[in-house]
Structure 1
Amino acid sequence: MILVLVETENGAASEISLETLAFARSLAAEGGGITIRAVVVGEVEDRDAMAAELGAHGAAEVHQAVGEGFASYSGAAWAAALQAIRESTNSVVVTAAGSPRGNEVLAHLAARLSVPMAANAIAFHGLKPFVVTRQVVGGAALEEMKLDQRPAVFSVAGHSWTASPVAGASPAAWVEVTPEVAASDLVARVVATGTKEVDHSGSLKSARVVVGAGRGAGGPDGFGAVAELAELLGGVVGVSRVVTSLGWRPHHEQVGQTGSRISPDLYIPCGISGAIQHWAGCASSKAILAINTDPEAPMMTKANYAVVGDMHEVLPAIVEELKSRGVTG
């Protein structure tokens, strides 16, 4: 059995959790049709809708952990629920999205079970032995890790797999459980949440297109075309560490080892040399189109496509061409 922890957003499964189910489906097929069970923790607004959604993505059952201990998020409490459900289902694999929450819960679970945990897996190689390839050093390097203890516990790196529903799949069966939660599991928990106003239109980690800029922008006023291109392509702005260090742009836009790790379909770094710290944050991009005046810059040599030129000349030309073709964002 494969157990997949599913995180929810606005009453539905998160995209990265659905991607994790795609990974689990591939693993189940390799094992000759191993059953996949999903786990959700806390209240669910529409069980029927979620059962249909998770069933379409490969889950045969959904185990919902309910109880006072799950009224708010607690990594240890969620791990307690996951442990109880794993034991009742005799699951040999437990996985989750490689999100901050997914990695925290699985780390707690692995400690409880005295087994290793592999974070941010992107692929697996057979079942005996079971080996995963995972991202390390912020994605700058890959490591193969053997998971020969059971259960195998690992998270799946975001956007490393594509969420793809199966046509005609049946809704998952729904099972409600009430795992016990110790007082010690609730020492660290969310006690309040709030919304902070930020000046950006989307999340770097989930964006499908990111237009980045570095020192080559020249200053805080050099991001006009960057932001305009990002808007036209339905993407967001990302920047290098030097840009935030100089105060040109806010930190939430930073891509890199000390910023956000991104995996967009398209990354367009402009005037970014491509130091290893920045590469650690963007190496998982599906395609990279780099724009720089230096053809030997690391980013230019690693990119799928490279344009040698001044970003302040190239970007306005791209924007103009897109507008001439009727692209409005």
Structure 2
Amino acid sequence: MDNFIGHDLVRSWVKAAVKSGALPHAHLITGQDGIGKSYLAREIAADILGVSPVKKYVDIIEYRTDKRSFGVDEVRDIIEEVNKKPFEGNKKVIIIYHGEKLTVQAQNAFLKTIEEPPKGIHIIITTDSSELLLDTIKSRCQIHKLLRLSKKQIKDFLRLHYPDLDEEMINLASAFSDGIPGRSEKFLKDEEFNNIRNITLKMLKDILTKDETLVIKYEQELAKYKNKEEDILNSLLSYIRDIMIYKDLENSKIIINRDKLEDVKQLSNMFSYSKLYELIEVINKSREAFFSNVSAAVTYDIMLLNMLEV
């Protein structure tokens, strides 16, 4: 049975291109975190080598970093690997995860390699944010944009990978996923992620008190979750989205955080639309600060102060 659900058009196109010998040598897979980019990258790599995607292979080389960026030194290591001959056959695949972490200098250093890799070498880059990649990089890649899965596909995914889940939990996880399978998995098994959800929900309640001591309290709380800035900001935005929808429609069926429905109802009576829009602006500015490598402590402090002023 195929354990990868969704993105059928992209997958079919790749398989047909491999079979006909017309597959481009460079690919950029874009889409939200958790949408399936890594799974697809490994499947494409396996298709190129003509092997099963389940196992690991010496000619599928994967690069990822826990740091905020890939610099020129890391790219030089990748280029060195690109120029080595395949170990087992006549093809080799290089996968770079989170390509948005490539600095501008690193992208420029990698440009020639993407444009003209050695024969038999294929390069796959995944990214959550294609706008952070240079146009010169994107123009040299076959771009695969992954879209959200349908409700049925998400539920099929959950039943396949979590056969012991009851229907109530499937419905909750499916609602929270918002069409992104990785979000449903975080909801089900990532304790740290669910701690972040609880903290950000309490933050939204507490900022209504206008108590400035909350800045230090929550800056210290959030600082415990290193490299989880996206999860924190996305959690805040998902609650705000639910609050706005409930204020407007009072329809619980389209709430993402359905397990927190009573909290969403309560907050919908406490926030005005104008305050919610201002909070969204504050959070988006915080995201820009993180992309600009402003320190987490400073960014959280400014964000919390601005949230209190809303």
What TM-score bracket applies, with the shorter chain setting the length?
0.3 to 0.5
Q: TM-score, normalised by structure 2?
A: 0.32
Q: If each structure's strand is expressed as a fraction of its own residues, which one has the higher value?
A: 1
